[in-house]
Amino acid sequence: MDFRNIFLLLKREIRDQLRDRRMLFMIFVLPLLLYPAMGIFMIQTGQNINQKSSKITVYVTADFKEAIQEDRIFPLFELDENSSLTAHFNQSLFSKREPQHLLELEFVTIPDSDRHGSSPILSPSEELPESLLPSEPPFEQRATEQAKIAIDARKCDAALVIPASFLEKLRKIYDEIRPRRRSANPQWATEQNSIALNQSSEENPSLPSHPDIPQPNVIYSTATQKSLIAKSRLEEVLDSWNRRLGAENIKKGGLSPEVASPIHVESSDIAARTSFQGASVWSKSLPILLLLWALTGAFYPAIDLCAGEKERGTLETLLSSPASRIEIVMSKLLTVMTFSVLTSFLNILCIAATGYFLISKIAGVGIPPVWTPLWLLIALIPTAALFSAVCIALAVYARSSKEGQYYLTPVILIVMPLVLLPMMSGHELNLGTAIIPVSGIVQVLGALLEGDYKMAFTFLPVVTLVTLGCCIVAIRWSVDQFNSESVLFRESERFHLILWLKKLFRTRFPTPTPQAAIFCGMLILSGKYFLSFISEDLAKPEFFVMNILISQFLGILFPAAVLTAISSSSLSKTLRVSFPNPAVFPIILLLAFCWHPVIVWLQSWVLYIYPVAPEVEAAFQSLDSGMSRFSPWISFLLIAVLPGFCEEITFRGYMFSGLNTPGHHLRAIVVTAIFFGAVHPILQQSILATITGCLLGWITFQTGSIWPTILFHVTNNGITVLVPNLEEIVKSPDSVFYGHWGISAALVIFVLLLMILGTKRFQKLQ
């Protein structure tokens, strides 16, 4: 690789991009003008936004007026000058966030008639026993039905049903409270009053009994946002009223209201004396904006440099130059990185400057920390490199700029969950989350912005290695795209369903295409997702066999079998069912026995990085209970033999044959291992299955057959099923095979067997 050629091509690409005045305007001028204008618009719009009041319908009984007039406790309702019901909403019942005028109440009176009424179909002269007379529904039921009808008809936002005897029961408690005898010693009085309140009514007759108080019922609908807001406001008022009632009861009992809530918590922000006040706000927003702008800033220049050159007809001239393909890719990569860094960094600075004047209105939020620009720039460089390599690989595959823009949506759909994953509650920076691509960058950058340098620099090497590895893979993908003539010079295609089906059945190849292999893997994952809902109903131990059969036959084997029948002309080459050298089987058998202690040792590391959740333990217990219902040999058939055949035919058979094109055997090994691990529903199991899948893929490549991998798969799973008390043996400190010396010996023998298996004697023409 000649760096002089890369530098010359880089100058050419940057010069071409700088000639586009629209791109210069979008990168340098628009952020300076757009975000301040947006800030002014948000301020002006916020001034004109007025919160509308919520319409609440209150359903009460006919004698509710009398109860209000006789009410001697702290009221929520009262009578106005015209003897009409109204709400006595004291300002103390509202928070500053919800002012008093935001509730608009309408009272509806319903007769409280739970007595038997006369039947409309009987004449007055006809008399029936009282037990046979029809009865009206209770007041609460009739009020609730009317409230539902009113809310559905949008006549009110929410409703409040006050039970018939609600105030009467409250008054009974209030009247039975008698003040306690006070002492000259306040401390002694407080202790005696506390003891008295803790005694039961039988031991202390002066204490009131606690009747069964019917509770008010708030009726609302989750179908409208206005109803949810009304429910929240009404519940806040009722909660405040409840606290005031409690304070009044305690006061009448001779106690100070402070007894009910003796603790008044005060808070102080120590970050106010540092430069990190409100840094948590910036640590949650700036990393997300940085990564999204880095992706957007890399995508459109990549489309112009790759798909745009196809449209302009200059790609052929570039490919005929003395520069190699990797030099061309590196020059385009550096160009896209440059514009990605400039675009995202300038936009972030403009957003931070504009947003500060809005966010600073919030108490406790200061300016971003002093080192924020430096941390953003450091995190931006590897992020821009990763996104630029991915965008170049996608852009060179596109036939035109229009087609290239369509690829932005799936890229965003993949990146967005990784960016937003650290925002989930309970998600914190550790070794398990640091090795997740993109998410690790967001978390380390957030820790730096919050000033947690120890945590950030602890996991920074891990995040750097993961990001660097992803960059290398993406660059390698881009180089492969530029080395493929079928990708560089793709012609326009028109899709015709009938012609495509005829071509599909008439034109068959001995092995599937890489696209068909990927499609098979995605089809399996989609099927497993929808079958998981059925598996929830079959998760009981009595449905253990049915769950295994559906998962293996319908979820894994069936898609590969259908695609093999449709697109393949050679069953033996597609599924790799030819027999290898017979001498390989003893080696594979011994290899599986040595691999089991090694995978158990790896499992301990995986569980250290990703501890098992209680739900996962419950799933394992359900699996064990399902297996315990059968003999060990039936469990061996279900857990070892059946997955060994179904999964190996699908992943190391159909998918491996499609992906194992000349020069891409590593791609076939890794991709099939990733799909193999993804079909396992538990995260820890999926990671171990991916590692095992890489080993199985290498064995398939060396031997050219799936029979050795079937033997390995069956043996590895069978040890878990057939060895009794395996868990106790593994955890035992005196274990011969699973102790430190046993694992070391197994690892040495395992490496020696791999070296033997890698000799030319066992290699088969691929």
pLDDT tens digits for range 421-450: 887 766 778 888 888 888 889 888 888 888
455 & 515 share domain: no
> What residues have CB less than 8 Å from 367, skipping those under 6 apart?
275, 356, 360
**716 in a structural domain:** yes
Cα angle 600, 603, 608; round to 5: 140
294 & 220 share domain: no
| pLDDT reported for residue 535 | 57
| pLDDT reported for residue 209 | 52
The count of domains in the chain is 3
Chain-centre distance for alpha carbon 707:
39
Answer whether residue 363 shows pLDDT above 70: no
Torsion of the alpha carbons at 295, 296, 298 and 304, rounded to the nearest 10: 150
595 & 482 share domain: no
The phi, psi pair for 103, rounded to 5°, reads -120, 125
d(CA 10, CA 29): 24
Answer whether residue 454 shows pLDDT above 90: no
552 & 611 share domain: yes
313 & 462 share domain: yes
Answer whether residue 210 shows pLDDT above 60: no
d(CA 425, CA 432): 16
396 & 535 share domain: no
**267 in a structural domain:** no
* Residues 77-116: tens digit of each pLDDT: 666 655 566 666 655 556 555 555 677 888 888 876 544 4
d(CA 61, CA 76): 16
Place 455 in a pLDDT band, splitting at 50, 70 and 90: confident
739 & 615 share domain: yes
Question: In a 10 Å sphere around its CB, with 0-12 CB exposed, 13-18 middle and 19+ buried, how is residue 47 labelled?
Answer: exposed
136 vs 280, residue with greater confidence: 280
Q: CB–CB of 89/192 below 8 Å?
A: no
Question: In a 10 Å sphere around its CB, with 0-12 CB exposed, 13-18 middle and 19+ buried, how is residue 680 labelled?
Answer: middle
253 & 281 share domain: no
| pLDDT reported for residue 316 | 79
**46 in a structural domain:** no
**Picking from 90-99, 296-305, 517-526, 717-726, which range would have the lowest pLDDT averaged per residue?**
90-99
3-state DSSP call for residue 56? strand
339 vs 125, residue with greater confidence: 339
Answer whether residue 202 shows pLDDT above 90: no
Quick one: which of 52, 46, 732, 688 has its CA closest to 361? 46
| pLDDT reported for residue 319 | 80
**98 in a structural domain:** yes
349 & 437 share domain: yes
Q: What is the mean pLDDT of residues 173-182?
A: 64
| pLDDT reported for residue 184 | 42
pTM, 2 dp: 0.72
Q: What is the mean pLDDT of residues 633-641?
A: 87
* Residues 391-410: tens digit of each pLDDT: 888 888 887 788 888 887 78
Answer whether residue 293 shows pLDDT above 50: yes
Cα angle 477, 478, 484; round to 5: 90
213 & 298 share domain: no
> What residues have CB less than 8 Å from 704, skipping those under 6 apart?
576, 578, 580, 763, 764, 765, 766
| pLDDT reported for residue 721 | 82
Question: In a 10 Å sphere around its CB, with 0-12 CB exposed, 13-18 middle and 19+ buried, how is residue 560 labelled?
Answer: buried
**Picking from 30-44, 155-169, 182-196, 568-582, which range would have the lowest pLDDT averaged per residue?**
182-196
d(CA 341, CA 344): 5
d(CA 25, CA 29): 5
Quick one: which of 452, 716, 457, 466 has its CA closest to 600? 716
**167 in a structural domain:** yes
Q: How many CA atoms lie within 13 A of 159 on its CB side?
A: 26
Tokens of 631: 């003999």
Average pLDDT over all residues of the chain: 78
Q: What is the mean pLDDT of residues 687-697?
A: 93
d(CA 122, CA 83): 38
* Residues 491-523: tens digit of each pLDDT: 655 655 676 666 666 677 888 888 889 999 999
> What residues have CB less than 8 Å from 95, skipping those under 6 apart?
236
**736 in a structural domain:** yes
Place 614 in a pLDDT band, splitting at 50, 70 and 90: confident
Place 612 in a pLDDT band, splitting at 50, 70 and 90: confident
| pLDDT reported for residue 557 | 92
| pLDDT reported for residue 126 | 45
**262 in a structural domain:** no
Residue 292 structural domain: 3-32+275-488
| pLDDT reported for residue 358 | 64
**712 in a structural domain:** yes
542 & 431 share domain: no
d(CA 566, CA 506): 10
330 & 443 share domain: yes
What is the C-alpha R_g of the chain? 36
| pLDDT reported for residue 765 | 46
